[in-house]
Amino acid sequence: MTLKQLEAFYWAATLGSFAIAAERLHITQSTLSKRIAELEDYLGCRLFDRSRKKAGLTEAGERLVPQCRAMLDLAKSIPQSLQDSDDDRPLTGVCRFGLSELSASTWLPHAIDRIRARHPQLMLEPQICLTRELERLVLRGEIDFAVIAGVPINASINEEPVAKVKFSWVASPRLGLERRTLTAEDFSRMNVLTHPPDSGLAAAFNGWLATHNLKVRRAIVCNSLTAITGLTVANMGISFLPESYVQPLLQSGRLVALESTPPLPDLTYSFIWLKDDPRPMVRVMRKLLLPGIDFSIPNELWT
């Protein structure tokens, strides 16, 4: 019995899919299946019931999961106990991480400069996606960590709040709404430019609508913050956007800020990573990035 066999079983059992578990461990599905079969041969019992279309855990498999978790936790604690506490050693290899368009256009350029100065041999591979997709990528082990809008919904993911972002309703001055407070009646007859369901911004907005029993005339969905901003400038509808992000457009008069009754809530952004990830990279990058995550940094393309 080996740790690799236990690891293959644990992730297949936890994620509920041999394919996703293989992706998480960066091995082929046939290799993962072989390791599980070897573990079953060693233990002398079946851990998965393969008689159905989707393999499920047997009674023995259910009993093994917590024991397997304990073994893997113990193995993880050994290198952690021997690591330098100051994390001064330069990182090498590839760091894959995820973030939103807002992060990419505000604090990310400064963060990349800091990372390269401290870890020049580390190759950075950022992925720009919506919140739920970033969470899925972290869960499958395809990225090392992410900064998302909102909080994760999967219990296997750790989170640490990093910022609260203030949002504001904005519109083109051509709409003639300057210095106006939007009411339920206004929303019922207006087009609102918003984000897809997988976006943390959409989840916050839809929750706000439901809480206050509000309806909009028409929701125009777009998966790009920059595109939503451009469409708002073009007078396609009103939108809710990060206040600092659109400040240059407000100052130039291309957009006007609006109030609403009730007001929009601030949105929490979170640094997320997999609970069972023992690698120093996540801890070091978290320590390096968190102090510099500042969503008030203006978009350099607009300043």
* Residue 51 identity (one-letter amino acid): S
pLDDT of residue 122: 93
Q: Which has more confidence, 239 or 71?
A: 239
**Who contacts 134 (Cβ-Cβ below 8 Å, separation ≥6)?**
98, 99, 100, 127, 143, 146, 148, 272
Class of domain 3-82: mainly alpha
What pLDDT is attached to residue 302?
A: 62
% of the chain with per-residue pLDDT over 90: 59
Would you place residue 303 in the very low, low, confident or very high pLDDT band (cuts 50, 70, 90)?
Answer: low
pLDDT in tens, 45-75: 999 988 777 778 899 989 999 898 888 878 7
Band the pLDDT of 86: cuts 50, 70, 90: very low
Q: Residue 301: its pLDDT value, please? A: 66
Q: Which residues are CB-contacts of 147 (< 8 A; sequence separation ≥ 6)? A: 97, 98, 99, 100, 103, 162, 269, 270, 271, 272, 289, 293
Domain 93-163+268-292, CATH 3.40.190.10 — does that match? yes
Residue 142 has pLDDT above 90, yes or no: no
Residues forming beta bridges with residue 238, ordered by sequence position: 192
What fold is seen in the domain 167-265?
D-Maltodextrin-Binding Protein; domain 2 (3.40.190)
Q: What is d(CA 61, CA 83) in angstroms, rounded to the nearest whole number?
A: 33
Distance CA(224)–CA(129), nearest Å, equals: 10
- Whether 12 and 21 have beta carbons less than 8 Å apart is answered as yes
All residues at 6 or more sequence positions from 209 whose CB lies less than 8 Å from its CB, including other chains: 215, 216
For 95, other C-beta atoms within 10 Å of its C-beta total 20
**According to CATH, where is 1.10.10.10 located in the chain?**
3-82
Q: What is the distance between the alpha carbons of residues 176 and 186, in angstroms, rounded to a whole number?
A: 13
Tokens 């909080």 correspond to 151
**Alpha-carbon span 90 to 120, nearest angstrom:** 8
CATH 3.40.190.10 occupies which residues in the chain? 93-163+268-292, 167-265
